Structure 1
Amino acid sequence: MGRTVGMWLYSNGGGDRIQKKMVKRLKERDIDVITDINLRHAIAKKGHIYHGKTKVDQLDLFFSYNAGEQTQYQVFLYQALNRVIPMINSYDAFALTEDKFQTSFLLQQHGIATPEFQLCHRDDSKQLERIMKKWSKMVYKPTDGWGGVGLTKIENEETLNMLLPFLNQMDLRFFYVEKFVKYDNTDFRVDIVDGQFVGCYGRKAGKRDWRTNVTSGGSVFLREPNDEVVELALKAAKVCGTDIAGVDIIYDLEKEEYVVLEVNGIPAFATPEQEKMGLDFNNRKIDLIVDLIDRKTAKKKNK
């Protein structure tokens, strides 16, 4: 009996080329791939989830890897699908890493340093003011979101007073704030697949911003991690239950320790431009993902 997996991978930034390589390597192992399964165009009826004529719930595995085009509808179907077939990442790991508070809370429970954080109810603006006095600088973060979108640095009560009406207008039930960590405006992005270190690069904030995200004007540079950074990333990925993770780590200059800023469940592959710079981990990442798909689908077949 052959195996068939579904895939939805981003196509920009060289993603289409990555997908071709992955499909070819899976075919070499007699694993067929149905690509471009965008759950946005799927329909659930009669106990199945259809994408065109494909019953997605009868595939041996579904690999969803597209941060930029997700909708709530897809995420809802992602959850339903993962009750019946294996997913990479699992729905639980995906949902956890999409939520900054849940991730930071769990990491701290396992003794992994993250920036100090607070979750406040929207009606408790007094609590926010108390935190402001204590921390002097903090960052408001939407609990979901990626690419640095919506991050707001709060450096004084004036900024806080401007932000509060905006947050109330958005009808948010709670606010997640982090103490602003004094760092050198660079970070490590460490890629982990299947409990193994894949590669690392650095990101540096632009001149007019403090965020290192490329979408916020940050830039990528070659950076070798030390053993401590790799161990921290491996531990964070394991705690979050991720098959694939990009762990963002910065060095806290005041506490003199590395802290995990974020665990990203859909870390991009190196773009063609970044590969020219010397970021050469794509092939290793593809091989590890192919191994992972092979193992998870073989396990399902054996069951």
Structure 2
Amino acid sequence: MKLAILSRNSKLYSTRRLVEAARTRGHTVRVLDPLRCYMRIASDGFSMHYKGKPISGYDAVIPRIGASITRYGTAVLRQFELMGSHTPNPSDAILRARDKLRAHQLLAAQGIGMPITVFGDNPDDTVDLLSMLGPPPHVIKLNEGTQGAGVMLTEKPSASRSVVEALRGLYANFVVQEFIGEAQGADLRCFVVGDRVVAAMRRQAPEGDFRSNLHRGGVAESVLASTDEVDVALRAARVLGLSVAGVDLIRSSRGPLVLEVNSTPGLEGIEQACGEDVAGAIIADIAGHLLAAGKFNQ
């Protein structure tokens, strides 16, 4: 298999592990900086150059596209798709997952549990908008924040109004959600690859914080996800069109609730916490897809 990994930094843990897993299995792999890829788009066909030379013929492309380059990165990925390359996470699926509001709408439409979410635009509607959600605490999230950045907890109605008004003054896109107190600052990251949850870890927020992200000082441990949790994680990834996803859940009195579906989940935390070869599972799943489709001979 001829494989490309779209990543701005070949030294990142996740990128290095995918390269290692691919080469260990006998595949050819190259890391491409998506910002150095440039495209020719015409009715007679699609082509791509990279650092002055044409590139083509990749059986598969693994996107490791950061949030800051979502627009250009997904355009590059879409060009690869139009040139015939397979990807576990298509460009449109990444765009669906990156937009928290859109993702919540799509998941809720399929009956997937999540914290109640409200969204509005006009400042005159702020009080009524918050009344639709219920009393605080409220969780306010920037629509395209990552790794716990841009997530705030407000404990009084006045605080919620103040934060909402401040964010509107900055023309920020955000959603407001109910706070699930019984989760006690913990969530569950289910790592989906294809039709399986290959690893799961429980992340606990540090004392004094409610965000369990490892980049925010959270502590992770391997756990066995329940049947319901596995089912919800697989359904959430499927609804958004992702074959590789980190689905973040919280355990609540009304069952597992989806907090977020990450289209570019990091491998370091989950592999170290669970001792699983997640990178190898991703490569094996891509190879299996191509073999089933008759796209390459192993």
Aligned-pair CA distance for 1:7: 1.1
Letter in 2 for 1:265: S
**Counterparts of 1:54 and 1:5 in 2: how far apart (Å)?**
17
Indicate the larger mover: 175-184 or 196-205.
Answer: 175-184
Q: Counterpart of 1:125?
A: 126
Whether 1:41 and 2:36 are equivalent positions in the alignment is: yes
Whether 1:25 and 2:24 are equivalent positions in the alignment is: yes
Unaligned runs of 5+ in 1: none
1:33-112 aligned at under 5 Å gives the runs 33-35=29-31, 37-45=32-40, 47-56=46-55, 58-67=57-66, 70-85=69-84, 86-112=86-112
Letter in 2 for 1:19: L
What SS does the aligned partner of 1:95 have?
helix
Q: Counterpart of 1:280?
A: 275
Does the CA-based 8 Å contact 1:40-1:71 persist in structure 2?
Answer: no
Superposition TM-score, scaled by structure 2 size: 0.84
Shift in alpha-carbon separation, 1:297–1:170, aligned structure 2, 3 A: farther
Q: Counterpart of 2:286?
A: 293
What SS does the aligned partner of 2:146 have?
coil
Unaligned runs of 5+ in 2: none
Letter in 2 for 1:33: V
Does the CA-based 8 Å contact 1:211-1:218 persist in structure 2?
Answer: yes
**Counterparts of 2:213 and 2:220 in 1: how far apart (Å)?**
9
Does the CA-based 8 Å contact 1:61-1:87 persist in structure 2?
Answer: yes
Shift in alpha-carbon separation, 1:72–1:119, aligned structure 2, 3 A: same
Indicate the larger mover: 202-211 or 259-268.
Answer: 259-268
* Number of aligned residues: 287
Provide the identity percentage. Answer: 21
Indicate the larger mover: 158-167 or 144-153.
Answer: 158-167
Letter in 1 for 2:233: A
1:185-204 aligned at under 5 Å gives the runs 185-204=185-204
**Counterparts of 1:7 and 1:54 in 2: how far apart (Å)?**
17
Does the CA-based 8 Å contact 2:127-2:161 persist in structure 1?
Answer: no
Superposition TM-score, scaled by structure 1 size: 0.83
Indicate the larger mover: 228-237 or 15-24.
Answer: 15-24
**Counterparts of 1:59 and 1:17 in 2: how far apart (Å)?**
19
